[in-house]
Every structure is written in structure tokens, then in C-alpha cells.
């Protein structure tokens, strides 16, 4: 990556640096021609303009109206396998039976439209059951980060005003000591618990285990009216200061992604000069957590609509992934660059038949351009990425196939229903093509705002636009290039780590008087957190001591990989802000 960056800085084309040359005749048509053809009247991706919260907005005319409609689409796939987890196989028909049974149970327990149901578990067959049982009765599902500590999970439950929680036994062990902090929490259902837990019930006593879903009675979903712009989800995203903020998503937000992802795929085919194929169900190895909008909104929604099979893993392991890909004839996988790198570089890869792989896609973390080439060369698969954020319910841009190989440093152009613009630092003027500024995004995928946080909502959302905090530029064809993050954030393998949160924990240590967190480049993870610390005179601390200090207070992925000590206070500008760009040199091992 360093070599490519050096060559690029000299003005050369990064596509050439990674060894890609345009095939003869590519692209067959322009992106604009793709848009005109795919969105023409009567076509699948036809658009219309409607009013959303007072803002005229382009939407997919043929998008499902709500998440109930997506559940009904899933039901139609019947005996096709929906989820595979170890030796547990659940068909779409069995999944729908469990969704209907749990939805009626939620209503019987007094859950009404607009009430919050939290979901805290690893990727299990139960996850999409709980999610759809919640949203199909008009409740708001609150998927909580399964990596969070007990206090972090309790904050999400209390802040959202959750009435009912469904979690696995691992999460309940963390949450139980803090239940008294969740004043509105009335009911807890725990899955995979060996025995009944104090203050909780077993989910299996309500709907059985996943292999038993097929034996449940066939029931319809409870009748309830749900409009496209009704509230559907609260996904928490950490802020640069203070507590995490809950992004309030609508049914339209999640339903938009189904056609957005399909639109990106269709563009790639047309650019190649090929005819659009008939949709065929695929098998997908899903390794990114479903509590991320990437996996839930951009992945799960489309998989259900298309009848795709999702394979879950208890824990990521490259060799087990090879075994699954070979056994299940997996067509697509990915999630974050980490996954792709480990699949590519593991020495046992050559011992497995991975020829079924057609695509390896990822997002959520910086990726080396060379990864694009290796996916194509090693797997013969098409690379893909895109850009979105929790506040956009995932997909805003899409980038794959030859377009990605041709512009490996871009995250792609916006989908047809989305708009991007680059704004000046003061937000008062739009920047010319090619100039860097703050990226603003608009479209039917942008959430309503932040849950019970009007000040943060007003600061981030304006007239349908979301101010992303990312620094970016657009080229003449509308392709987006993220060049930096205005928000003080490190992205470790797709997980957001906000520097101020870790710095505040370090400041709490009695020896620390100055601290800064930065991201160090990492080939697989994109970047990893690292801290620079200055200790008070007469005090000292070791690297291991400070790592343990953070580990005892925050989730493991937020713990600095390295800690170095500065004899002087950290360098600052005239406004007193630490000059973080000057700190990376302290980690140079030369």
C-alpha cells in the first residue's frame, strides 16, 4: 500500500499501480446511461419523488412499503434454507413460523406500536426471528452491539426506554448486574441458557429451538398498519463526545437498501455490456455482526427478498470459513477488509475448493488498493465495497467489479436515489468538483435523527441532508473518494472507536495527565488504535498497565494495541487541540 501511495502521489494512476488494465470495450455504457436505462418508467428501478418530512425525495417506486412486506417475501421461499449455524438449518418457512409465533407473544405481553424491543446476541438463527417479530408489529427494534460491556449495554437499554429484551446467555451475564439501571425494562427472554436465569425467561420456552421452528403452527402475522416512514429501528453509533447516540431508522430506510444493492449489481453488468441475468438465490457466508447496519440493512433485508441462504459462524476462523465455503458452495462473503485478507493469505487456502466464490465485498474500514487486485487474481471473484454510515442505514454508494478495479481508491458513486455534495468547513458553500470538503448525503436511506437527542439531530441533519463528518472529494463522474475523517475516530476492522472515549478512560488513570488516541495502519484491520500518554511528574505507568486499565472499562476492540510515553506534554495548536498528525512518528520502530 505504501508503494502504491507513493506512486499515486507522483501523479500516476492507481489502477495501473495494482496492475489492472481496462478490457477492450469497457465500459460499454456510461454510468448516466446505466441510470437512464435502469430507472426508466416501468423498469424495476423506476423512481418517483415524494415528500419525506417536508423534503422532496427520490425513492425507489417498487421498494417494499415496510418490513412486514419483506417478511412476506421471505415466507414465499418456503423450503429453501434461510440460515445455517453449525448443525442447525432453518428454512424460510420455519423462520416465518417462528416470527409469527414470537410476534403474537410480544403482543400478548403488552408490546404496542412504538414500544422498544432490544436485541443483544451474536449472529444466531434467533437474531432475524426476533428482529422481524419486533418490527412486523410496529415495535422499534434496538439491536445492541454484542461486543459492548455490561454498562454500555445497560446504557443502550435505558436510553432507548426498552420494555422487552431478547438476548443470548453471554449478553445476559453482562447485563444482569445492571438491570436496576434499566427502569423501563419489564421482560427478558434469554436464548441458549442452560437453565432458567433469575429475572429472565428462556426464549426456547416460548418458540422452541431453531430446529423446532418447523414444528410450530402456521400463523399469520398480527394485523397492524405500518407506514413506510414509521419508526423501525434504533442503531447506536458512538459520538465523538459523550454517550452513544441512537440513530432512529424507518421502515423505508431499511427497505430502500434492497433495491439500492440490486441497482449497483445491475450497473456492473450493464457496464460490462452483458444482459441482465434472471435473479438466482445465492449462499452467503455472513461474518459481520447483524447489529451493524451493514449486515442488517444492506445484507439481511436483501437476502430475505432474494431467498439467499445465510451461513453464520460462532466465531471467525479462516480455516473453518474455508470448510464452510467448500461444503456449502458459498457464493459471496466479506464484511470488512480483515476477512478478505485472512482468506487470501492463510496457508491452508490451497487445500480447499473455493471455486464457488463469485464476490468478496466489504466496507466499514479503509482497504489497501492491492486487496482489490488480489481478490480478482486469487479467487477469480469480483471485489466490491461501498460507503454508508449508521445515519444512512448503510448503502449510499456502491463500487464493484471493473469499476472498482478501475478506481480502487474510490468508494463508488451514489445510487440513483441518493445525492452527495462536498461542503466547505463552515457548511455555507458547495465545493467544486475535485476539491476536498465535508461529505453531505441525502436520500430515502437517511434516518430521521437521533433518539431523544434534538440538539445532536439539529447539528447533524438539515433539510434532508446528513453531515457525515467525513472529508471527501467527488470526481467528474460522481465517484466519491473518502480522504480523511473529520470526526475523531479510528476504524478497527469495521468497528468504530471514538478517540475521546478511550482518552477519557486513560485520563482517569491516576498517573496520566495527557493522552491521545490515533490510528496506526494495519493491512488486515485497516487501522488499529494506539495511544500516546504523558504521565504526571513523579508518577509512572507501564504499557500493559494502561492496556489493562482500558480493558477493564471498555469493550476489547477499543483497547490500544500499543501505548507509548512522551516525556513532554503532547503538541497542540493555538486552539489547544492536540496535533495528532505529529504523533504517528512516535510509533516508528526504526
Q: pLDDT at position 238, please?
A: 63
Contact assessment for residue 77 and residue 307, using Cβ atoms and an 8 Å cutoff = yes
For the cut 90, the answer to whether the pLDDT of residue 13 exceeds it is no
Across the range 189-216, mean pLDDT stands at: 95
- Which cell goes with 426? 463552515
CA angle 319, 322, 324 (to 5 degrees): 110
At residue 359, the pLDDT reads: 93
State residue 80's pLDDT score: 98
Q: Please report which confidence band the pLDDT of residue 501 belongs to, taking 50, 70 and 90 as the band edges.
A: confident
Could you give the 3-state DSSP secondary structure of residue 82? strand
- % of the chain exceeding 90 in pLDDT: 78
Q: Which three cell numbers stand for residue 566?
A: 512522551
Residue 270 CA to its chain's centroid (Å): 27
Q: What is the mean pLDDT of residues 524-548?
A: 93
Burial class (CB in 10 A: 0-12, 13-18, 19+), 540: exposed
- 10 Å Cβ neighbour count for 273? 12
pLDDT over threshold 90, residue 235: yes
User: Looking at the predicted structure, is the pLDDT value of residue 314 above 60?
Assistant: yes
- % of the chain beyond a pLDDT of 70: 94
User: Where does the pLDDT of residue 6 fall: very low under 50, low under 70, confident under 90, or very high at 90 and above?
Assistant: very low
Model-wide pTM > 0.85: yes
Statement: residue 531 has pLDDT above 90: yes
DSSP strand pairing (449-450 vs 245-250)? antiparallel
Q: Minimum mean pLDDT among 192-206, 242-256, 261-275, 475-489: which range?
A: 475-489
Alpha helices in 1-63 (DSSP H): 2-9, 14-17, 31-38
Q: pLDDT tens-digit profile of 415-425? A: 999 999 999 98
Output 313 or 15, whichever has higher pLDDT.
Answer: 313
The pLDDT of residue 9: 35
Residue 188 has pLDDT above 60, yes or no: yes
Mean pLDDT lowest among 172-176, 353-357, 382-386: 382-386
Band (pLDDT 50/70/90 cuts) for residue 536 is confident
Hey, what domains does the chain have and what are their CATH numbers?
2-60+248-485 (3.40.50.12780), 92-226 (3.40.50.980), 489-587 (3.30.300.30)
Lowest mean pLDDT of 119-128, 251-260, 476-485, name the range.
476-485
Residue 362 binned pLDDT confidence (cut-offs 50, 70, 90): confident
Q: Checking phi first, is residue 54 left (phi over 0); if not, alpha (psi -120 to 50) or beta?
A: left
Does 11 have pLDDT greater than 90? no
Give the pLDDT score at 240: 47
Residue 310: pLDDT band (50, 70, 90) is very high
pLDDT tens track for 140-166: 999 999 999 999 999 999 999 999 999
pLDDT of residue 4: 33
pLDDT at 574 exceeding the cut of 80? no
The residues, ordered by sequence, that sit 6+ positions from 193 with a Cβ below 8 Å of its Cβ are: 169, 172, 200, 202
Write the pLDDT tens digit of every residue in 268-309: 999 999 999 998 999 999 999 999 999 999 999 999 999 999
**Reported confidence tier of residue 265, pLDDT bands at 50, 70, 90:** very high
User: Does 2 have pLDDT greater than 70?
Assistant: no
pLDDT attached to residue 7: 32
pLDDT at 10 over 90: no
Least confident among 50-64, 331-345, 458-472: 331-345
Tens digit of each residue's pLDDT (9 = 90 or more) over 83-110: 999 999 999 999 999 999 999 999 999 9
Mark 318-355 as b/e (b = at least 16 C-beta within 10 Å). Answer: beebbebbeebebbbbbbbbbbbbbbbebeebeebebe
What pLDDT score was predicted for residue 16?
79
pLDDT score recorded for residue 513: 86
Cα–chain center distance at 565 = 34
What's the chain's length in residues?
590
* Angstrom distances, CA of residue 537 to CA of 67, 172, 318, 509, 557: 59, 43, 47, 14, 30
Higher local confidence (pLDDT), 499 or 114: 114
The whole-number average pLDDT for the span 366-371 is: 72
Contact 442, 418 (CB under 8 A): yes
Amino acid at each position: 500500500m505504501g508503494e502504491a501511495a507513493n506512486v499515486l502521489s507522483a501523479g500516476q494512476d492507481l489502477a495501473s499501480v495494482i496492475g489492472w488494465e481496462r478490457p477492450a470495450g469497457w465500459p460499454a455504457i456510461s454510468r448516466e446511461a446505466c441510470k437512464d436505462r435502469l430507472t426508466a418508467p416501468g423498469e424495476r428501478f423506476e423512481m418517483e419523488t415524494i415528500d419525506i418530512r417536508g423534503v422532496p425525495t427520490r425513492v425507489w417506486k417498487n421498494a417494499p412499503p415496510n418490513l412486514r412486506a419483506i417478511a412476506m417475501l421471505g415466507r414465499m421461499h418456503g423450503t429453501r434454507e434461510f440460515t445455517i449455524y453449525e448443525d442447525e438449518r432453518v428454512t424460510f418457512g420455519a423462520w416465518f413460523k417462528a416470527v409469527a409465533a414470537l410476534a403474537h407473544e410480544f403482543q400478548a405481553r403488552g408490546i404496542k406500536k412504538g414500544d422498544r424491543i432490544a436485541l443483544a446476541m451474536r449472529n444466531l438463527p434467533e437474531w432475524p426471528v426476533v428482529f422481524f417479530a419486533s418490527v412486523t408489529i410496529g415495535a422499534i427494534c434496538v439491536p445492541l452491539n454484542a461486543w459492548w460491556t455490561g454498562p454500555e449495554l445497560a446504557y443502550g437499554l435505558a436510553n432507548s426506554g426498552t420494555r422487552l429484551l431478547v438476548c443470548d446467555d453471554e449478553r445476559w451475564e453482562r447485563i444482569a448486574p445492571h438491570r436496576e439501571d434499566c427502569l423501563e425494562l419489564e421482560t427478558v427472554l434469554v436464548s441458549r441458557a442452560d437453565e432458567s436465569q433469575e429475572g429472565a425467561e428462556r426464549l426456547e420456552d416460548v418458540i422452541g429451538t431453531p430446529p423446532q421452528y418447523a414444528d410450530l403452527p402456521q400463523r399469520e402475522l398480527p394485523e397492524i398498519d405500518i407506514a413506510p416512514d414509521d419508526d423501525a429501528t434504533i442503531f447506536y453509533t458512538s459520538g465523538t463526545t459523550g454517550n452513544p447516540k441512537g440513530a432512529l431508522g424507518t421502515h423505508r430506510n431499511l427497505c430502500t437498501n434492497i433495491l439500492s444493492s440490486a441497482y449497483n449489481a445491475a450497473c456492473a453488468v450493464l457496464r460490462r455490456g452483458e444482459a441482465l441475468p434472471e435473479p438466482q438465490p445465492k449462499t452467503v457466508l455472513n461474518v459481520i455482526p447483524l447489529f451493524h447496519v451493514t449486515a442488517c440493512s444492506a445484507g439481511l433485508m436483501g437476502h430475505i427478498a432474494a431467498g439467499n441462504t445465510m451461513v453464520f459462524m460462532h466465531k471467525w476462523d479462516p480455516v473453518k470459513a474455508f470448510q464452510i465455503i467448500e461444503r456449502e458452495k458459498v457464493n459471496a462473503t466479506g464484511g470488512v477488509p480483515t476477512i478478505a485478507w485472512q482468506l487470501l493469505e492463510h496457508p491452508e487456502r490451497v487445500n480447499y475448493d473455493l471455486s464457488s466464490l463469485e464476490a468478496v465485498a466489504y466496507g466499514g474500514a479503509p482497504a489497501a488498493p492491492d486487496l482489490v487486485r488480489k481478490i480478482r487474481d486469487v479467487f477469480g471473484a469480483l471485489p466490491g465495497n461501498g460507503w454508508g454510515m449508521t445515519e444512512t442505514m448503510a448503502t449510499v454508494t456502491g463500487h464493484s467489479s471493473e469499476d472498482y478495479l478501475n478506481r480502487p481508491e474510490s468508494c463508488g458513486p451514489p445510487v440513483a436515489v441518493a445525492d452527495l455534495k462536498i461542503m466547505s468547513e463552515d457548511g455555507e458553500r458547495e465545493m467544486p468538483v475535485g476539491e476536498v470538503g465535508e461529505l453531505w448525503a441525502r436520500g430515502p436511506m437517511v434516518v430521521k435523527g437521533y433518539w431523544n437527542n434534538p440538539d445532536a439531530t439539529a447539528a447533524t441533519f438539515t433539510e434532508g441532508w446528513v453531515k457525515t463528518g467525513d472529508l471527501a472529494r467527488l470526481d467528474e463522474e460522481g465517484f466519491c473518494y473518502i480522504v480523511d475523517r473529520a470526526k475523531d475516530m479510528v476504524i478497527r476492522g469495521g468497528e468504530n472507536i471514538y478517540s475521546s472515549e478511550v482518552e477519557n478512560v486513560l485520563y482517569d488513570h491516576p498517573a496520566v495527565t495527557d493522552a491521545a488516541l490515533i490510528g496506526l495502519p494495519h493491512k488486515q484491520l485497516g487501522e488499529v488504535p494506539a495511544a500516546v500518554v504523558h504521565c504526571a511528574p513523579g508518577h509512572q505507568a507501564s504499557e500493559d498497565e494502561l492496556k489493562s486499565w482500558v480493558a477493564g472499562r471498555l469493550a476489547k476492540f477499543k483497547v490500544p494495541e500499543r501505548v507509548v510515553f512522551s516525556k513532554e506534554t503532547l503538541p497542540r495548536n493555538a486552539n489547544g487541540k492536540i496535533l495528532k498528525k505529529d504523533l504517528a512518528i512516535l510509533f516508528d520502530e526504526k
